[in-house]
Chain A
Amino acid sequence: MVEVKKKLKTLGEDVLKDINQRKNPDIDIPIRSLSNVIYDEKTKQLTLGNKVSKRYLFNVAHAKRFMQTMLVAALCKELQKENIHTSLRDLFYALKRTLPNSNENTFDEQRESDPIIVDLEVMLDILREQLHLNADVRGRVVGNAVIKDRGDLINLGKLGSGGWAIPSNVENLTLKRVNAKYILVIEKNAAFERLHEDKFWKKQKCILVTTQGQAARGPRRLIQRLSMEYKLPVYVFTDADSYGWYIYSVLKYGSISLAHISERLGCPNAKFIGLTISDIDEFKLEDFTIKTKDVDIKRAREMLKYDWFKHPAWQKELKLMIKRKIKAELEALSGRGLRFMTEVYLPRKIKKKEFLP
């Protein structure tokens, strides 16, 4: 971790140099928006371009964020020195205070400190985990596998009804024994619980992971490691709507906002198992669909333009959704019977290898 410490110190020294030369101190921050995100066809990953924005201390529009960046960096340096970890939320509270002689706080909401941490990651080319910062725990896993975490051996098949909560930092886990044919990643907790209760993972010899919505970094990294270290295919199971599909694309290619670490989080070999709009006819789900809202359609139109959704199969699904103005949640399958998902839908899709790329 000497490298991280050194990078933080260099950041401070660059600013100090400007101050000593009576210059307006500035820091360079790579831009993290669609305009600076490149989809690499070869690696099937989203990567960051080289556009940079400058953040100045003496610019009314930048001054506060400049100060906030320095505060976060200074705290990260302390974490390194003391060799302790903290959560994003703790960091926010550790830095939040009212500035002397004013009504202004250093930070008002965690929404302000979180992006600054990402700024630092990108600027210094280090990971949040390396800065000793953990996100809130989200996502669970069950399956026929044994792992070792902080010295404890954990059998992911013997954790009762709840499964194992995936920590935000899985870098230091060891995957001891894995006996599975594939990894099934499920967007929603309810579907995960159904499959778990039906012992789907035992019958199908697979590992079940729920992301509980948009996947956090811990589950993404765990899925990547399982898939890479044991050569397991990854199947992603989400709602049939633009948001569900985008969750899939983040797992596979990376996200726009974290394009700088796609390499460490993406699963380029992941495949989409369902639901699709075509499934609605295929599995007679018409009665259980939901009408789209304007935002769904708007999002679908945006996604039509993303390079990583240019595959004809995806273009077809997106256009179908826009045309028919319907979407379906995983729960739609329960409309056909409570075990329809476990006994009919998933086995059939896997058997016939009906996947979307």
Chain B
Amino acid sequence: MVENPGKTAQEMARDHREVAVSEFFEKNRHLLGYDNPTKALLTVVKELVDNSLDACEEARILPRVWIEIKPDGADRFRVMVKDNGPGMTDKQIPLALGKLLYGSKFFKLRQSRGTQGIGASGTILYSQLTTGKPTTLIASTGNGKTSYYEIMIDVKKNEPEIVSHQFIEDGKIWHGMKVEMTIEGRYVESRKSVPEYIRQVAIANPYANITFDGPNEKVEFPRSANELPPLPKEIKPHPYGVELGILRRMLKSSKSRTVASFLTNDFSRIGNGSAKEICKLADIDSKISPQRLEITDTEKLFKAMQKTKLIRPPTDCLSPLGEDLLIKGLKKEFKAEFFDSVTRPPEVYRGNPFQIEVAVAYGGELPQEGSIKVLRITNRVPLLYQEGDCAITKSIITTDWRRYGLSQSGRSIPVGPAVIVVHLASVWVPYISESKQAIASYPVIIKEIKLALQEIGRKLQRHVSGKRKAEMQKKRREIFDRYLPEVAKAVGKLTDKKPEPILNKLKGIVKNYAKVSEDGRGKEKTENSG
């Protein structure tokens, strides 16, 4: 027997080819949140809603979003998301959505929901993968012309494949975008589900008006605020937050003529002085062209950038919701008796500015039993999965909530009638995976979240202890009030007097004795032996 001969290097080289990102996605869809039908349906809705809200905010339009999910045969759903955003020009439509990693956001550092340019086109890819059907895109910029597209994605080329294209000229003036597709999925109404996601979106974006027309019910989430948070500013990357690979790409695509000007133009917080210092430390000529930098020099430059002392990145690029909006969002969805929020000053992890906001709702109609509800939000996007791996969950369970009026056993989610919202706003949120469901546990992020939680905890504790005191006082008062008529009658009988005046006198003094002191204890005279 002759052994099956191995492939030659030439043969192997022939087999090698570039794998288009869309093809990669097709094979690794779980990385992007499409691992099971339930999660896939949620991911589709999430990506489309994220896009709509981002578009509206960028155009400074108060968002109005319609979401429709209707069953379309067994295990299939027709998903429609429509917004009142700026819309898109006719040419832009297929490219913006029919090509992965195409987008305006990837090379910018700005706080936004999506960043990678995979989201919306990923949904189209998932749709065609599971149902083989094209996605309908309808958009108008308000010029009276409406574009109608049906597209698919050419997976090998990572290019849009236009199935149908026409203009609808019905004279209707509108602006916005409508995406409609059929996908495989499963619809549930549990804790990690589409309706819960939309509810949390409404809480995190109280200025948005959302209509959800689901398979079982139609729900309106009216806006509770009429102002948009300020548009986040775009910033250049800070040297501390840059990876070697990215640095190399930035050098290649730079328009600057010298390394020094590359450093000052393409990064934040590098002036002429620091640029020279970096080049000196890296032992490279600051005047050579960035394109001509050797790989070893690039590495030296990278190390020098990390070693040089620089000012922290600017933080005005962040747009937190603000304490007021956070509370408005919570009030809309929870009937509680106490609301409060805390916004921390901006901080920086690995050169990326971020900011933590926390809000709490307590008591009222919130359930007394069971763990508190934790809403994890990043750049106004709620996270539903992988809570155990998330820096927010880790921060909550390592905070001692018993001090703040909730019960908690060991390192676990506290128990009590409370909802806690943690919002992380950042130009670059460090997710632990591409499905963007959990925040990585950078020590400085954990530290900031815990500081915010402790601050809100103290506010909560003040409320809870005040409430306990009032309850105690009321209870004492009730006890005394119940017995007073009996005592008055009996004392009346013993002294041959009418009971009414005695009762009135007792009622006059009961107040003094029902009071409780700061520690919640009654001002009792106790058993007194002698």
Residues of A within 8 A of B (CB): 8-9, 11-13, 15-16, 19-20, 22, 24, 26, 31, 51-54, 56-61, 63-64, 66-67, 70-71, 73-74, 77-78, 99-102, 104, 106
Contact = CB atoms under 8 A, between A and B. Distances in A.
Contacts of A67: 483, 486-487, 490
Nearest to B529: A51
Interface string B61-99: 000000000000000000000000000000000000000
A101 B526 CA distance: 28
Contacts of A26: 525
Nearest to A55: B527
A67 B486 CA distance: 7
B244 interface: no
Q: Which of A16, A20, A73, A106 has the most CB of B within 10 A?
A: A16
Given A12-B495, A56-B524, A67-B487, 8 more contacts: A9-B494, A12-B491, A22-B512, A53-B529, A56-B525, A58-B514, A60-B524, A74-B490
Contacts of A19: 491, 502, 505-506, 509
A12 B494 contact: yes
Contacts of A24: 513, 525
Nearest to B493: A74
Contacts of B505: 19-20, 22
Contacts of A8: 494
B476 interface: yes
A99 B489 CA distance: 13
Interface residues of B, number: 33
A93 B528 CA distance: 32
B510 A73 contact: no
B529 A31 contact: yes
A61 B521 CA distance: 12
Contacts of B462: none
B324 to A, nearest CB: 42
A73 B529 contact: no
A63 B480 contact: yes
A73 B502 contact: no
B527 A9 contact: no
A53 B529 CA distance: 5
Contacts of A66: 483, 487
A53 to B, nearest CB: 5
A151 to B, nearest CB: 33
A16 B529 contact: no
Contacts of A101: 482
Nearest to A76: B494
A60 B522 contact: yes
A122 B366 CA distance: 53
Q: Which of B482, B489, B497 has the most CB of A within 10 A?
A: B482
A99 B482 contact: yes
Contacts of B495: 9, 12-13, 16
Contacts of B482: 99-102, 104
B483 A64 contact: yes
A26 B527 CA distance: 11
Contacts of A106: 486
A108 to B, nearest CB: 15
Given A16-B497, A73-B490, A52 B530 contact: yes
Central interface residue in B486, B508, B509, by most chain A CB within 10 Å? B486
Contacts of B513: 24, 58
A100 B488 CA distance: 14
Contacts of A12: 490-491, 493-495
Contacts of B311: none
23 contacts: A9-B495, A12-B490, A12-B495, A13-B495, A16-B502, A19-B509, A22-B505, A26-B525, A31-B529, A51-B530, A52-B530, A54-B528, A58-B480, A58-B513, A63-B479, A66-B487, A67-B487, A67-B490, A71-B486, A73-B490, A77-B493, A99-B486, A100-B485
Contact of A22 (B479, B489, B509): B509
A20 B487 CA distance: 14
- Across chains A and B, which 8 residue pairs bring their CB atoms closest together, nearest first? A12-B494, A58-B513, A70-B490, A74-B490, A74-B493, A12-B495, A67-B483, A54-B528
B176 to A, nearest CB: 60
A15 B491 contact: yes
Most buried by B among A12, A77, A78, A106: A12
A54 to B, nearest CB: 5
A190 B527 CA distance: 46
B530 A11 contact: no
| B496, B497, B513, B514 — most chain A CB neighbours (10 Å) | B513
Contacts of A61: 524, 526
Interface string B458-496: 000000000000000000100110110111011101111
Contacts of B525: 24, 26, 54, 56, 59
Nearest to A61: B524
Contact of A52 (B483, B487, B529): B529
A77 B491 CA distance: 11
Contacts of A78: 493
Contacts of B514: 58
Contacts of A15: 491, 494
Interface string B324-341: 000000000000000000
A58 B482 CA distance: 12
A71 B489 CA distance: 8
Contacts of A31: 529
